[in-house]
């Protein structure tokens, strides 16, 4: 009888953990838009293109830096797997280098870093 009680208690605990699992109840917030990974990659690559175009037009470096900051925050929508996450973090370093180059007045290097970042974001689709 003592063993039966222990088994019943273990089953109750296991069932309660499964019933209240946070991953089972996870869903998007009411006001939040969720994107498929491929759509998020396209969106982020387009934002990088906007930053490149602004830099080519000779916009204010602070404005371009703000556009890069928007790219960094939008890229957080790309979430598919650990490999994609690691590759996305490597691209973040290129974007941060572009912001640093802009702050130092090196627009050519910043533009090249942005072009590399755009290619790297589009390459994330191959990892999916």
Coarse DSSP helix, strand, coil percentages of the chain, rounded to the nearest 5 percent: 80, 0, 20
For the entire predicted model, the pTM comes to: 0.71
> Which letter, b or e, does each residue of 21-38 get, where b requires 16 or more Cβ atoms within 10 Å of its Cβ?
eeeeeeeeeeeeeeeebe
In this structure, which long-range contacts are made by residues 54-57, counting pairs with CB atoms below 8 Å and at least 24 apart in sequence?
55/107, 55/110, 55/111, 55/114, 56/111
Domains of the chain plus CATH, in order, are: 34-127 (1.20.120)
pLDDT at position 9, please?
A: 85
Cα 2 to Cα 24: distance, rounded to the nearest angstrom: 33
Residue 124 tokens, joined:
């994330």
Q: What is the pLDDT along the chain (128 residues), one digit of tens a residue?
A: 888 888 988 888 887 776 665 555 555 555 666 778 888 889 999 999 999 999 999 888 899 999 999 999 988 888 878 888 888 899 999 999 999 999 998 999 999 999 999 999 999 888 87
pLDDT at position 20, please?
A: 62
């Amino acid at each position: 009888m003592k063993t039966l009680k222990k088994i019943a208690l273990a089953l109750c605990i296991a069932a309660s953990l499964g019933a209240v699992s946070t991953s089972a109840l996870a869903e998007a917030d009411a006001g939040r838009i969720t994107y498929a990974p491929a759509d998020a990659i396209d969106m982020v690559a387009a934002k990088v293109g906007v930053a490149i175009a602004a830099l080519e037009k000779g916009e204010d470096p602070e404005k371009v830096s703000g556009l890069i900051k928007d790219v960094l925050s939008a890229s957080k929508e790309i979430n598919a797997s650990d490999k994609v996450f690691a590759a996305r973090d490597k691209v973040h370093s290129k974007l941060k280098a572009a912001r640093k180059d802009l702050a130092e007045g090196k627009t050519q290097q910043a533009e090249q870093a942005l072009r590399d970042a755009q290619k790297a974001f589009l390459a994330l689709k191959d990892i999916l």
